[in-house]
Chains A and B, each alone.
Chain A
Amino acid sequence: MANYNLQINGKQMEVDVDEDTPLLWVLRDHLGLVGTKYACGIAQCGACTVHVNGEPTFSCVKPISDVANEKITTIEGLSKDGDHPVQKAWDEVDVAQCGYCQAGQIMSAAALLKKNPKPSLDEIDEGMNRNICRCGTYHKIREAVALAAKTK
């Protein structure tokens, strides 16, 4: 076990966990930030996507020892009141079915738009292809990313 100082959603947090503990489980089990989801555990589906220094990152395979002192943002910290343009677009377009993958989708979309504020539909598809939605909300995801790009 070791102590790690973490910068999560603009706050300093401290946890005492094994160094190989994935960021995902530190967030969920130790810090109560359960918006970041577990679905595959092997970096295949994107449900666990968070930002590490602004980069979309699969937290399920990111050992905590790799991200100590890095700037981490989770869905809970993407905006103060759920009013990030991507979150607003997700509500406006009514993207979610079951909703389980959507936090990861939103984090991927927010990172995509930060890098490429006016993506084409093909660029949206390319950027969002690493996130699986088992309910098949892909058309709405595409629409919401495009709307967020417009309203940003």
Chain B
Amino acid sequence: MADITKTNRRDFLKIAATATGGLLIGFYWSSCDSPKVKVLSIEEVLNKAHNFNSFLSISPDGDIVIYSPNPELGQNIKTSFPMVVAEELDADWSKVRVLQAPLDTDKFDRQLTGGSGAMPHSWERLRKAGATAKYLLLAAAAKQLDVDQATLTAEKSVVIHKSSGKKLTYGELVEAASALQAPEEVLLKDPKDFTLIGTPVRNVDNKDIVTGKPLFGLDFYREGMMHAMIQRPPFGKKIKSVDDSEAKAVKGVTDVIQYDNFVAIVGKSTWPLIKAKRRLKVTYEADGNVESTADHDRIMKELLDSRDARVMRSDGEVDKAFASAAKVITSEYQCPFLPHAPMEPMNFFAHVKGEEVELIGPTQTPDAARMQTAALLGIPKENVTVDITRLGGGFGRRLRADYVIDAVEVSKRINAPVKVTWTREDDMIGGAYRPAVRYRFSAALDEGGNMIGYKLRGVGLNAGNSVRQDNFPSGAVPNVLIENINYDSTVTTNAWRAPITNFLAYAEQSFLDEVALAVDKDPVKFRLDLLEKAKSSPVGAVNYDVDRMIGVIKDAAERSNWGKDNNVKQGFSVYFSHRSYVAQVANIEMVNGQPFLKKIIASTDCGIVVNPTGANHQVRGGIVDGMGHAMFGNLVFEDGSPKQKNFDTYRLIRMKEVPDIDVNYIDSGFEPTGLGEPALPPTGGAIANAIFAATGKRLRSQPFIEQKEFSDLNLQMFRS
């Protein structure tokens, strides 16, 4: 249940000030021209506004301020969340202003960005926040007009009494309404009556983005603030010696400080730090396993045969099934570590003032930043404030607070406000990467080509659980064994957009393609037959909804004209992750005798689509991301450090390489689920399966372009 509490006005304004103060100072400090049109600032609106709950405040002028508590990194939450509140409020969207809320765990739950979980978690809370305020506005209108509240309706911030034609604006009612007691229960709209949800709404920060306003952490500035950069060690090593004489000699450098295994360079602006960092001489010595990619390859292959696997799922009698099988197919798939590489490098502002700390910057987990800061300094968490800037991408990297702690460590030592900035090279070599994983899949097939046994063993380097044992095809096969082995590497890892499934889905969907083709079955029909079994005679508990998965498969097959055009070679893939279902078909056509990846067709069931423009962004973006990393993403370790240190050697997908992408949504009527991740996992499989259909070459490892099978494909990706 939503905890909509009445907060007093003073508290509210205090929060508003914290939320805007620092950033707006940064904004006005900039020398850019201010807009001609006089629009009230959010502070000016809030000065007059009455607040209804944690999410919502309305001024007598009719300006509506909606707080967005979760960090915005491009997943559209800062637009989509307020849309839900505004829908139930029947607000005039043109009068809605959105403000990023600071960290406040009393007012908001789950103030984090990760797991595509914000919308499903907050859907009902947001609706109640809007509906409660609307109820109070209607109640105030009923009193004023002396009519029954049930005879009133609302539309675009106006309360209407139909029979008399009388109208009152929200602005006129706000004072009286905010004095009323909020109801315990409130009626929510029937989704068929939605007028804002389901319509394309533009990003609320568009104007600031296209004019280059300071929105991001790296743009934050405060008078008197110092800058710092940190030199960090290769994995498995510690500092042996530091020679900072040349670094200190760079003009503009004020301090070089060694602490723990780090060396911080402090100065008044960024460029001298970059220069000094190049002149800093640090030698390192082993302090644990100093690993290379060759070690990783060997370890993963060896561990696939280990006797110490952890059984994650066991159905039926697997050994018996494989012993009696007419055909057994086994394949191994592997992926490398990958950096997140968001465009905005890691950075954070910290000001340690004795027992109190002010933190400002881009973070997916503001509460982790606060808790780790409090623990580091031995102060109560209440003494730490966190303001959240816009994030220049995250992809999971900013779930980790290591770069926040950098800023706290330096501010504490120099006793001044500081912004720590990582260079791109720091970000590439000091990452917390997508774990490297190797899988072995085995399928046992009977005479009729039915899959009677299925085995999956995953070996991950700091991957935790590298399998998803209750996902498809579990439930559809009578004898299943799924095992996991985790190896403790010195290379740090972290959630990376669609953790684990970003590679597992590709491997699994490629393997199922291998199995289907080995028994001469159409890959789509093969999957549908399995799902029919999961429906008619389910084996064990599963985490997916069979009908919803069938729904996206059928839709993608139909819209892609699956199997009907001999000139188009197609690859199919479907995956359930983060509560959403996505099926994809990749189309390869022969152009001048070369295979050309022309199009990807996606079908998604994420329940109600809140903002179609945001949803399209996430589906297309997820596919582009999935394709780019499957094709190119590679990180090769040598002596505890990646060889790829910047975008000259670490290849990211570019404009000319993206195929056409066609998206569609299943109108399933379910409550909305997240979309930040689910479109990514199926992409690699769809492409690899299409490549196989077109060329007979099976790509079993990523990145594709590094595989020997790929070298003679001449796969054409460029559109021109």
**A residues at B contact (CB < 8 Å):** 1, 17-18, 20-22, 25, 28-42, 44-45, 47, 74-76, 80-82, 87, 90-91, 94, 96-103, 106, 121-122, 125-126, 128-129, 131-142
Contact of A129 among B31, B32, B202, B656 (CB under 8 A): B656
A133 to B33 CA separation, bound complex (whole angstroms)? 27
CB-based contact B658/A76 at 8 Å: no
Given contacts A18-B251, A100-B392, A136-B621, contact A35 B211 (CB under 8 A): yes
CB-based contact B345/A38 at 8 Å: yes
A25 to B660 CA separation, bound complex (whole angstroms)? 37
CB-based contact A25/B73 at 8 Å: no
Closest approach, in angstroms, between the C-beta of B159 and any C-beta of chain A?
A: 31
A34 to B269 CA separation, bound complex (whole angstroms)? 13
Contact of B647 among A1, A28, A37, A40 (CB under 8 A): A40
Given contacts A87-B210, A136-B623, contact A94 B613 (CB under 8 A): yes
CB-based contact B646/A91 at 8 Å: no
Contact of B621 among A103, A129, A135 (CB under 8 A): A135
CB-based contact B213/A94 at 8 Å: no
B164 adjacent to chain A (CB < 8 Å):
no
In the complex, what residue of chain A is closest to B268 when comparing beta carbons?
A29
Closest approach, in angstroms, between the C-beta of B642 and any C-beta of chain A?
A: 15
Residues of B with C-beta under 8 A to A37: 216, 218, 343-344, 392
A139 to B617 CA separation, bound complex (whole angstroms)? 9
Given A18-B251, A42-B646: 4 more A-B contacts, CB < 8 Å: A42-B647, A98-B343, A135-B74, A138-B655
A20 to B212 CA separation, bound complex (whole angstroms)? 25
In the complex, what residue of chain B is closest to A8 when comparing beta carbons?
B31
A142 to B73 CA separation, bound complex (whole angstroms)? 22
A99 to B391 CA separation, bound complex (whole angstroms)? 9
CB-based contact A35/B213 at 8 Å: yes
CB-based contact B74/A97 at 8 Å: yes
A34 to B270 CA separation, bound complex (whole angstroms)? 13
Closest approach, in angstroms, between the C-beta of B247 and any C-beta of chain A?
A: 15
CB-based contact A97/B621 at 8 Å: yes
A80 to B568 CA separation, bound complex (whole angstroms)? 49
User: Would you list which residues of chain B between 645 and 660 have a CB under 8 Å from chain A?
Assistant: 646-648, 652-656, 658, 660
In the complex, what residue of chain B is closest to A89 when comparing beta carbons?
B210
User: Would you list which residues of chain B between 415 and 438 have a CB under 8 Å from chain A?
Assistant: 421, 423-424
A82 to B341 CA separation, bound complex (whole angstroms)? 29
Residues of B with C-beta under 8 A to A138: 624, 654-655, 658
| Complex interface bits, B373-392 against A, C-beta within 8 A gives 1, otherwise 0 | 00000000000000000111
Closest approach, in angstroms, between the C-beta of A74 and any C-beta of chain B?
A: 7
Given contacts A37-B218, A100-B344, contact A32 B211 (CB under 8 A): no
CB-based contact B210/A122 at 8 Å: no
CB-based contact A136/B658 at 8 Å: yes
Residues of A with C-beta under 8 A to B30: 32-34, 76
How many B residues touch A, CB cutoff 8 Å?
75
B135 adjacent to chain A (CB < 8 Å):
no
CB-based contact A47/B656 at 8 Å: no
| Complex interface bits, B590-602 against A, C-beta within 8 A gives 1, otherwise 0 | 0000000000000
B719 adjacent to chain A (CB < 8 Å):
yes
CB-based contact B211/A76 at 8 Å: yes
CB-based contact B215/A136 at 8 Å: no
CB-based contact B206/A29 at 8 Å: no
Given contacts A75-B212, A82-B207, contact A94 B719 (CB under 8 A): no
Closest approach, in angstroms, between the C-beta of A56 and any C-beta of chain B?
A: 14
Closest approach, in angstroms, between the C-beta of B267 and any C-beta of chain A?
A: 10
Closest approach, in angstroms, between the C-beta of B346 and any C-beta of chain A?
A: 12
Given contacts A42-B648, A137-B617, contact A94 B200 (CB under 8 A): yes
A101 to B345 CA separation, bound complex (whole angstroms)? 12
A142 to B390 CA separation, bound complex (whole angstroms)? 24
Given contacts A38-B218, A39-B343, A40-B424, contact A96 B647 (CB under 8 A): no
CB-based contact B210/A100 at 8 Å: no
Contact of A90 among B75, B206, B390 (CB under 8 A): B206
A32 to B269 CA separation, bound complex (whole angstroms)? 12
In the complex, what residue of chain B is closest to A130 when comparing beta carbons?
B654
Closest approach, in angstroms, between the C-beta of B720 and any C-beta of chain A?
A: 4
Interface centre among A22, A42, A136 (most CB of B within 10 A): A136
CB-based contact B647/A45 at 8 Å: yes
A132 to B625 CA separation, bound complex (whole angstroms)? 12
A102 to B221 CA separation, bound complex (whole angstroms)? 21
CB-based contact A39/B424 at 8 Å: yes
Closest approach, in angstroms, between the C-beta of B381 and any C-beta of chain A?
A: 28
CB-based contact B390/A99 at 8 Å: yes
CB-based contact A82/B211 at 8 Å: yes
Contact of B210 among A90, A137, A140, A142 (CB under 8 A): A90
In the complex, what residue of chain B is closest to A102 when comparing beta carbons?
B209
30 A-B residue contacts at CB 8 Å? A29-B271, A33-B212, A35-B211, A35-B213, A37-B392, A38-B218, A38-B345, A38-B421, A39-B344, A42-B646, A45-B652, A76-B212, A81-B37, A82-B211, A87-B210, A91-B210, A94-B200, A94-B206, A96-B210, A98-B342, A98-B392, A99-B215, A101-B343, A106-B210, A129-B656, A135-B617, A136-B621, A136-B628, A137-B617, A139-B661
